[in-house]
Structure 1
């Protein structure tokens, strides 16, 4: 290789950033309802905003300043499990009041319970419709459904077990230390 040309550099293995807060920044911002850059796609995701009011007038029933406070306080929780617990507390399962006669006797009934959506502010509880509840909290119907599925038979919320398993291929600190000592001893 000629002396005036620099030596070609080989690629380096990427080193993970040891700072914990940078690693979970997107996750924390998503849980807070703020805008963030997706770690998987790299796209900018917009912040959570309240959706337009429902046709039933739930925003008028509660008043717009209170609606904005409820939205802001829900997303200020910042913890997915605690937000689910909040949803579980505000949505109440009640038995269906009236069953209409079924045309086919072998046909199963469609619903066994009705969901009642409430929001509480300053010792006052407001009963609102489903669309209004989803619009105020800016959550999807799936989020509410999965939060309600996580309630145990006693009524307490079940722990979310995602991301808490220990990987099978993890190297213990003792093994890592022995490997480092072996490398230093050989050099």
Structure 2
């Protein structure tokens, strides 16, 4: 793939690394958390950079969240290559966990903000960009998040895939996103995959 021109990876499939939690969250058979981390090292060693992710707000505990972020940080220290860390809030609608009654409510805005802040504190020195997936958090929490450890808003390009299996839909225009950022006291800008600023608004 590298020879064919692939120069970045999405970081998807990380879910949550704790095995007992991971097998409950994944809707299909996936590699282990350890294998995911090892594959990331191999990909990074070939010069292909990308994102890291974590799905939270389901059946995990706080120690699982911290463990996940620490493992990503340690991976980054050993073989750098993560461009960002993107915490992904679990969307419960129409999911097996909801149907089984294991998850009945979405994570609170307070928890969402704590996850962003924890990521900045634990891993921010090594994974510079802590991205805010605003499509899942909503506009108000996203605005708070970019003032509480988050570095940028993401989700416009790939929101449909993440929420495609649920009944949740949300979208926004470029103008609305610019307004969100300005209202939060930040300067809106468009970047590329590698976090190079293309232009300011």
Give the shorter-chain TM-score range. under 0.3
Larger radius of gyration: 1
Structure having the larger proportion of residues in strand: 2
Give TM-score, length-normalised by structure 2. 0.24
Give TM-score, length-normalised by structure 1. 0.25
